[in-house]
Every structure is written in C-alpha cells, then in structure tokens.
C-alpha cells in the first residue's frame, strides 16, 4: 500500500466542509458499535452485530448470551469513548493510558483490570511465547520509548503497526490484550489526523497471519498493508459522504 496515497486522501478530506455535530455523532456511534462487535468477536464473543447494537444503544439484555459478552461490549464502548476524550486533550501514549484503556476493556474482571499479568502465558497455535512476567515492565517501557522515536522518522501507520505487533508479542495483560491493542492503534491514528479503522472479524485470519509473519521475520509489512487498506477505505467513505452532501446542497 502506497502510504503517500493515504496522505493524499487525508488532505482531500481536510479540504471538504466537515460534518455537523449531529451527523458526526451518528457516524461515530455506528462505527463504535461495529468496531465493538468485530473486536470482541475476534476474541470469541458470541454476540451478533445486532445484539451488540441493542446492548450499546438501547441497554437491552440478550437473555441467551453470557453476561461476560455484555460486559465486554459495554467495556469496549467505554474504552473507545475514553480514547476519544484523550484525543481532545492531545494526551501522549503512556503506560498509564494503556492501563486505563485496559481497565475499561476488562470491566468483567476487576482483579486484573489495568494490571500487568503475574503468570506466564502461552498463546495457543502461535509460534511465539510471550515474555515472563518479570520482564513485562521493562519491555513495555522500552516499547513506549522506541515508539516515540519511531514516530519521528516514519509514517504513523508504519510506526503504529510495529507498536501493535510488539505490544501483542509482549502480551502484558492476562486477558484483553487484543482489544486494548486495537484501541491503542485507533488512538494513535486519530491523534495523527487519520480515521479510526475497524479490523473485521471476517479478516481475522489475515490479521493473525500478520503476527505470525512478524514473529518469524520481524517484518511489519503485512500489518502495515492491512491497516493502510482499512484506512484508505475509511477516508474514501468519508470523502464520498461529504462530496455527496455538497452535490445535494448545490
């Protein structure tokens, strides 16, 4: 994916008259619902997109679905709202921010919210074994420091893709790493003036393959391409909406 094309689309979007607050809120609510569904489905949630919408938008309880899935949906939405509030303040990515995002994501598991894991873990089916618990703190500090440097000399999509791959390799929390990592990814894209992306449940195989490729080669190109493809689609969708509105208004 040509990242220069992303910048062209971003600049084109910035020349168009923005949506009003009501229009923006509607599109954002739709995106958060879809993103909550897909991100949780990747992690095994049994909720459908419609059920996710009913829970988030109408407060409905789906009787035949686990309470954990309900809490995961609510927690993910709260975490997305949290990162949106942070982008308004230009907050930097830090361990505190990461732990706060995780604390919202893992609302169904109070003892482990926002706390680095204290036990070793094995990711079933993966070729990589995450570091021992005593290494997590220093590896997270190093990752955040390295990321600050990466952002200075490469496109944000390249930098955040490598951050995401390394974050998931560290697997700092006992649960909720994938959802937290994808929220961090969107936090950084929004701060860079891009649109948040939604990695689809239907693309989960391609997404997981990005981690296997990185673990074997230390190359982030597959995830860079995946993120850039989603970003291009989102930018073109918004441009289409705004240009259509301008044509209607003459």
In the numeric block, which tokens belong to residue 11?
Answer: 């600049």
DSSP string, 98-150: HHHHHHHHTTT-GGGTT----S----TT-S--PPPHHHHHHHHHHHHHHHHHH
Is the pLDDT at 166 greater than 70? The verdict is yes
Distance CA 220, CA 158 (A): 8
Instruction: Give the right CATH number for 3-119+128-245 from 3.40.50.300, 3.40.50.2300, 1.10.3290.10, 3.40.50.880.
Output: 1.10.3290.10
Span 72-95, average pLDDT: 95
DSSP string, 19-62: PPHHHHHHHHHHHHHHHHHHHHHHTT----HHHHHHHHHH----
In the numeric block, which tokens belong to residue 51?
Answer: 């059920």
DSSP percent split of the chain into helix, strand, coil, nearest 5: 70, 0, 30
pLDDT tens track for 180-237 = 999 999 999 999 999 999 999 999 999 999 999 999 999 999 999 999 999 999 999 9
Which residue has tokens 């168009």?
A: 16
Cβ-based neighbours of 132, under 8 Å, separated by 6 or more? 120
Distances (CA, A) of 156 to 86, 128, 148, 236: 18, 26, 11, 19
Span 148-168, average pLDDT: 97
Q: What is the pTM of this model?
A: 0.96
Span 162-166, average pLDDT: 98
pLDDT tens track for 222-250 = 999 999 999 999 999 999 999 988 777 75
Task: Give the pLDDT confidence score for residue 250 in this predicted structure.
Answer: 58
14-22 long-range contacts, Cβ below 8 Å, gap at least 24? 14/193, 16/239, 16/242, 16/243, 16/246, 17/242, 17/246, 18/242, 19/241, 19/242, 19/245
In the numeric block, which tokens belong to residue 133?
Answer: 């618990």
Distance CA 169, CA 84 (A): 26
What percent of the chain lies above the pLDDT cut of 70? Answer: 99
Is the pLDDT at 124 greater than 90? The verdict is no
Is the pLDDT at 67 greater than 80? The verdict is yes
In the numeric block, which tokens belong to residue 235?
Answer: 């930018």
Task: Give the pLDDT confidence score for residue 17 in this predicted structure.
Answer: 86
Span 80-108, average pLDDT: 95
Which residue has tokens 């195989």?
A: 205
Task: Give the pLDDT confidence score for residue 72 in this predicted structure.
Answer: 98
Is the pLDDT at 1 greater than 70? The verdict is no
* Conformation bin of residue 62: beta by default, left when phi > 0, alpha when psi is -120 to 50: beta
Is the pLDDT at 128 greater than 90? The verdict is no
Q: Supply the mean pLDDT for the chain.
A: 95
Question: Do 146 and 93 touch, CB atoms closer than 8 A?
Answer: no
Which residue has tokens 């929220």?
A: 183
Distance CA 138, CA 86 (A): 25
pLDDT tens track for 17-60 = 888 899 999 999 999 999 999 999 999 999 999 999 999 999 99
């Amino acid at each position: 994916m040509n990242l220069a094309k992303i910048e062209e689309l971003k600049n084109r979007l910035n020349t168009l008259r923005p949506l009003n607050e009501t229009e923006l809120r509607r599109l954002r609510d739709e995106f958060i619902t879809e993103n909550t569904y897909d991100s949780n489905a990747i992690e095994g949630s049994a909720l459908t997109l419609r059920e996710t919408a009913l829970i988030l938008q109408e407060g409905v309880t789906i009787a035949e679905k686990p309470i954990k899935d309900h809490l995961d949906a609510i927690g993910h939405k709260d975490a997305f709202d949290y990162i949106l509030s942070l982008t308004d303040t230009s907050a930097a990515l830090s361990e505190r921010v990461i732990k706060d995002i995780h604390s919202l994501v893992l609302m169904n598991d109070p003892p482990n919210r926002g706390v680095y894991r204290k036990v070793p873990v094995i990711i079933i089916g993966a070729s990589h074994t995450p570091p021992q618990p005593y290494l997590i703190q220093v590896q997270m500090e190093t990752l955040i420091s390295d990321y600050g440097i990466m952002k200075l000399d490469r496109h944000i999509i390249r930098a955040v893709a490598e951050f995401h791959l390394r974050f998931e390799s560290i697997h700092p929390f006992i649960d909720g790493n994938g959802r937290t990592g994808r929220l961090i990814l969107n936090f950084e894209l929004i701060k860079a003036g891009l649109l948040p992306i939604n990695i689809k449940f239907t693309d989960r195989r391609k997404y997981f393959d990005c981690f296997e490729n990185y673990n074997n080669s230390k190359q982030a190109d597959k995830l860079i391409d995946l993120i850039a493809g989603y970003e291009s689609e989102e930018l073109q969708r918004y441009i289409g909406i705004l240009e259509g509105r301008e044509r209607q208004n003459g």
